[in-house]
Chain A
Amino acid sequence: MGAQRAWRPPDERRTLQLALATIWLFDGILQLQPFMFTRQFGTTMLAPTAHGNPNTVAHSITWASHFISDHAVSTDAAFAVIQILLGLGIAWRPSVKTALGASIVWSCAVWWFGEGLGGVIAGTAHVVSGAPGAVLLYAVLAVLLWPSDRGGPDAAFIAARAVGERAARIVWVLLWGGLSIVALLGPNRSATGLRDVVRDLGDGEPRWLGSLDQHVANVLGHRGLAVSIVLAVVLGLIALSVYLPLRPARAMVAVALMASLVIWIFGENFGQVFSGSASDPSSGPLLALVALAYWRRLPQAKATPDPCRELSWEGA
């Protein structure tokens, strides 16, 4: 019979994996809300994401939303079980690789059929309301937190351990740089675009959150373009900060964390989880997790061997 190595407490990367698992579990249970078992889930949440996408994409989304509407209970139950299993699979060490791999496939499918590619192609993406599609960030995190040490256990930051420092830096630049560009595209450029996004969030939310949205919308007023430009500059600086030395890089990661928090609270209303129809906590917490994966470590800090790799069962 096989054997087992000593159990090790979670290290930094394992802790981030567990945070990701927690969010997957949360997603799965959100999928069990009563609204999700109704036809409206398909017709009012999924079908509208087809608008503005190329015909091929739009047709596939429409087909999927009809199928889900027609089999609302069974498909939703399956979605919930899949997401709960992804969360539990990442949390259970022997299955972490399988679960992370499956989460990449699932995330890409949901990004296509459930989020209409995040509105990136349709030109409806808003940085403050979840662009480029929250679910895509699950896949990015699964790659960055993959339990391997290609970049070496002593890499400059956690994300570099799995894919190497160069690739990890490129991912960071693409993500935050992409958000910076999206902040200046389409509806984000109009004077009232941001105000309208924030104001419309209040529907179905608790009164205090609705008041907060109204207040923020009033402050934004007709300053949408100016705010978008400031946002784009800040996000652009965050994107480039990955090439800075230790202290300024850490400062910019802190800025990225703050930006994630601001987006999550004011732009996403905590993922609208109080509305009874949220399927995930939106992009804010995931952006924060990505930022934490890039927290620059002190040069002398030595990483421990991956706890999941320690737990490999030897063959008989």
Chain B
Amino acid sequence: MPHPTWLAYTFAAVMVAVSLYCIAWLIEATRRSLQNHMDVNISHVAMGLAMAGMLVPRLNLLPDGLWEAVFVAIALWFSWQGVRFVMHRSTRQSAGALHGLSHYLIHLVMALAMTYMYLAAVATPATARVGMSMTGPTGTTANFVGLPLLFVMTLFASAVWQLDGLSRYAPSHRTLVGAGILGDPGPDGARGSWETARAVRGEAPRPLESAAGASPSLAPRLEMGCHIAMCITMGYMLILVL
């Protein structure tokens, strides 16, 4: 049963927009010599363009085999980064460490989900040459339909988690009222944390996701928005191949 063309176009347009934004982000970050989240944005570009191509075949830039290789490489990269992160931070149990690890894990899941879609989905262009009739998995992949469900729930949980965290980026011109003072215990009982101190100074809290790297993020709210859009679109496509 083919999905509506307008819906495929809508999601594809969002993915192209996200990819273009991420390319612009990468150019600006390179110009400013910011290294943080480069890998994330590169993977977002690849995923966005690949999903746009899956939704509207004429937007497909590369053969499926090449896309599979790209996403296997991305999965290996985030696996390696995650292992390195655990090895270097094994003694720390802070919230920052947890978020740093989840940062790698979610992008590993996204890369695996993309690989799964290429392996499982049978793409047949619609008669109007737009839109993709994504059918259920065939062959051996039909025995693993629980896997995309797991991917979907992980992706949606990540989207929701990111949206919850969006509020942490307070515009810097606002004055904080009632923010905890340095001696005021936070929700985890910590006193005088960097986050509280920054809050009192009226600065935007440091993004926890940046714990993996030392340099600040560029436009973190837009980056999170891109991640949310990517998770929802990927979840939608995975549901089509359930």
Contact = CB atoms under 8 A, between A and B. Distances in A.
Interface string B151-172: 0110011011101111110100
A6 to B, nearest CB: 4
Contacts of B58: none
B187 A32 contact: no
Interface stretch (A130-138, A233-241, A269-277): A269-277
A1 B174 contact: yes
A136 to B, nearest CB: 22
Interface stretch (B35-43, B46-54, B71-79, B141-149): B141-149
B180 A9 contact: no
Contact of B167 (A26, A37, A92): A92
A112 B186 CA distance: 44
Contacts of A87: 156, 160
Interface in B163-198: 163-168, 170, 173-180, 186-188, 195-196
B156 A26 contact: yes
A10 B1 contact: no
**Residue among B165, B176, B242 with the highest chain A CB neighbour number at 10 A:** B242
Contacts of A10: 164
Contact of A18 (B160, B166, B168, B179): B160
Interface in A259-283: 270, 273-274, 276
B100 interface: no
A148 interface: no
B216 interface: no
Interface stretch (B26-34, B81-89, B105-113, B232-240): B232-240
Interface stretch (B2-10, B15-23, B59-67, B114-122): B2-10
A18 B187 contact: no
Contacts of B156: 22, 25-26, 29, 87
Nearest to B167: A93
A6 B178 CA distance: 8
Given A9-B188, A270-B149, A2 B174 contact: yes
Nearest to A304: B187
B180 A6 contact: yes
Describe B's contact surface by its main secondary structure: helix
Given A35-B1, A91-B163, A30 B205 contact: no
B120 to A, nearest CB: 12
B95 interface: yes
A57 B78 CA distance: 54
B12 interface: no
A247 interface: no
Nearest to B136: A276
Interface string A40-78: 000000000000000000000000000000000100000
B199 interface: yes
23 contacts: A1-B173, A3-B175, A4-B170, A6-B195, A6-B199, A7-B168, A7-B170, A18-B157, A18-B161, A21-B163, A25-B235, A29-B236, A29-B239, A34-B2, A37-B3, A87-B156, A92-B163, A206-B142, A208-B143, A274-B149, A276-B1, A305-B187, A311-B167
